[in-house]
Amino acid sequence: MLIRIKDLELRRLEFNETFQPGAIDLGSEYRQVAPLQTTGRAELIEENRGHKEILDDIRLVGNLATEVEIACARCLELVRQPVTRDFELLYRPQGADKTKEEAAVSKGETEISYYEGDGLLLEDVLREQVLLAVPYRALCQENCKGLCPTCGRNLNTGECTCKETQPDPRWNALGNLRDKLKID
């Protein structure tokens, strides 16, 4: 859904959209497994910068809810993760804040995104918001045992038959140092 400046000049835009799994590309690490439901509004905010310079900013306020699949950080089994997020975003025309010299960025400026051309795609906004809401690491269960470092077997499904591997002898000097530090 394209949110166009020309449409926002006439009235604010209310949206209530549903995006089926696969409609929004979340990259290779996440897979949407439930419809993404979003509601909200988009409105035009005219920012007067003086000398007859007016910027057309787009303000988006809304929420989203969906469910994604992500690999467990320990055993790589797929985990279903519910995702809900409220958002309030401000988009400014690309290049509007461009200066010739480097300048410090204020906290307020870090909360502004940019759009190019006629407007912005709601799907792009939702993709970004879903990726921000998904946890960095997910576990299939709190006590996940992970994978065997030797054979790669999922230790949650049973023990492996690998023998205990001996540490690399090049690390012995550090091991001796560790033992000395424990004694002192």
**Cα distances (Å, whole numbers) of residue 86 to 23, 51, 117, 121:** 20, 36, 26, 18
pLDDT in tens, 14-68: 999 999 999 999 999 999 999 999 999 999 888 776 677 777 888 999 999 999 9
Q: What's the sign of the alpha-carbon dihedral 28, 29, 33, 39?
A: negative
Predicted confidence at residue 10, as pLDDT, reads: 86
pLDDT in tens, 46-58: 877 667 777 788 8
Report whether pLDDT(107) > 50: no
Q: Report which residue type is found at 117.
A: G
Q: Report which residue type is found at 66.
A: T
